Amino acid sequence: MKCNGSEILLECLLEQGVDTIFGYPGGSVLNIYDALYKYQDKINHILTAHEQGATHAADGYARATGKTGVALVTSGPGATNTVTGIATAFMDSIPLVVITGNVPVPLLGLDSFQEVDITGITMPITKHNFIVKDIAQLADTVRRAFEIANSGRKGPVLIDIPKDITAAVCEYQPKQIPALVPNADTMTDEDVATAVQMIQQSKRPFVYTGGGVIASDAAKEVRELVDLIDAPVSSSLMGQGGFDNYDERYMGMLGMHGSKTAANAVSECDLFIGIGTRFSDRVILKISAFAPNAKIIQIDIDPAEVNKNIRVDHTLVGDVKCVLQRLNPQLGQCSHSDWMEKIASWKREYPNQQKGNTPDALLPQQIIETLCELTGGEAVISTEVGQNQMWAAQYYSFRHPKQFLTSGGHGTMGYGLGAAIGAQVGCPDKQVINIAGDGSFQMNCNELVTLSKYNIPVIELLLNNEVLGMVRQWQRLFYGKRFSQTTLERGVDYSKLAGAYGIEFYTIAKPEEIRPTLEKALAANGPVLINCVIDRDINVLPMVPAGAAIDEPILEIEIDD
């Protein structure tokens, strides 16, 4: 059948199972938005306040649902406004398709109004990108973009479509899109046998789960592995929810702000099994002191990550789920009771308890642990970046994959609210909360209008200390308490801000206000903003200084000013 480019684009999105687009219209995508008007009963469009918010929303939608997120924006500034969101998805391996408009093909390269080389700009932060200059190639380009976004190590793909291509007419032939099957033929039987032997010889194994466990839907297989080998488990920031945090085997997060128990276990284990992780610098810290007594097995889908940040003794390259489905049946039942008791004793000895400067201080730990209790550890939690992010990872106990949405690799302030919008749209039956610091919140608080417009029942939990808390913490420890430009004190009346958008508002200023306020917010039928007034000198602990060994964390910081 004959269709114009805009109709072909939307038909191809329907082929891929797309039901929601996050975007913002403009001149170069007018034809696509005109087609969306006709397709509004098939494809839901969420109009955000800003193109960056649209990209973060598509990212949050992808993380929470496991589907591919889709963002649609115009050319020029519309396209460049997506760059931070694309980089965020790229660093965290999130499947995203970003569709940008551009000037007509004859005007490309002439510095035309709102023309930008977005494929050139985004080349380093996408798995692949395309510019479609021939209407006959549009359908197959869209199909290829989704395949690339979801195959192997997942990630964002950009499709740039000049305006004249969206209006041109071409023959369109629908296609049935087969489900992608992960490639399981990336390792030999000998590779598996070597891993089995290393595991069976271990007396003190340590299992570490990263974002790849969630990306490959391998939580069940990881559970089987740790039960078979009787090992303790820690997770990266991106791996939260890949293993049930309520389980007695779980030691807490590993890394710069990880638990002391996990740090001790790394130093004393004799086998470290990293699953779906790239061994970030924020995890391994001082390379020479990381797992000094252990052999290391790395299981990862991306061969480029092997031996990149740390040398390992053995690798199993492939989709985590496929690898473990081959590995687990080869393992017999192991028992390491002495090792597990030692882990339990460290957990008792090093509980991570926050301290305030006064006995009645309002502590983030109290707020987040109460939230976890009231939601049964079942809510979808997004975060901004900084202290709020670490506190959420430390004190909310995640039970399942796809519960924790955070900018791990890129560290994008302003990510969380957009991500929460996408998660709530994709998972309307789940409770979604964005845990934010006031610095991050003020970067993208314009997306409150999106919550209000669509009555999206997200809770914005604002941990308000009127400073850039994480940067201030570093200034205190390493810059002689010279708090340069980290004291905000902007005097924002958050009740008026919420009121301007018609959003329900509460304040928590005392510990006794935590439970009743959270209960009211959780019972609300629409968006809520909660302003939690906390002290500016509550720090994220433990903290391993840059260059120090992972088992040398700072456990207490004296506040004398």
Residues forming the active site: 51, 113-114, 163, 470
Are 503 and 448 spatial neighbours (Cβ–Cβ below 8 Å)?
yes
Measured CA to CA, the distance from residue 102 to residue 39 in angstroms comes to 22
Query: Cα–Cα–Cα angle for 8, 155, 140, nearest 5°?
Result: 25
Residue with tokens 């924020």: 282
Are 420 and 382 spatial neighbours (Cβ–Cβ below 8 Å)?
yes
Please provide residue 170's backbone torsions phi and psi, each rounded to the nearest 5 degrees: -150, 160
The residues facing 208 across adjacent strands are 234, 274
Q: Tokens in use for 95?
A: 């499947």
Hey, what amino acid is at 421? I
Closest listed residue to residue 104, CA positions, set 160, 142, 158: 160
Helices (H), 2-158: 5-15, 30-38, 51-65, 77-80, 83-91, 118-122, 138-150
Strand-by-strand arrangement of the 504-508 sheet = 404-405, 380-383, 432-437, 459-464, 528-533, 504-508
Measured CA to CA, the distance from residue 89 to residue 72 in angstroms comes to 15
Residue with tokens 């006031």: 438
Measured CA to CA, the distance from residue 117 to residue 99 in angstroms comes to 14
Q: Tokens in use for 509?
A: 């200023």
Measured CA to CA, the distance from residue 57 to residue 207 in angstroms comes to 32
Measured CA to CA, the distance from residue 73 to residue 86 in angstroms comes to 13
In this structure, how many other beta carbons lie within 10 angstroms of the beta carbon of residue 81? 18
The residues facing 272 across adjacent strands are 206, 296
- At residue 483, the 3 state secondary structure works out as coil
Measured CA to CA, the distance from residue 308 to residue 511 in angstroms comes to 46
Question: What totals of helices (H) and strands (E) does the chain contain, helices first?
Answer: 23, 20
Q: How far is CA 363 from CA 62, 490, 552, in A?
A: 32, 22, 25
**Beta-sheet strands, E only, within 80-137:** 96-102, 128-131
Measured CA to CA, the distance from residue 398 to residue 450 in angstroms comes to 27
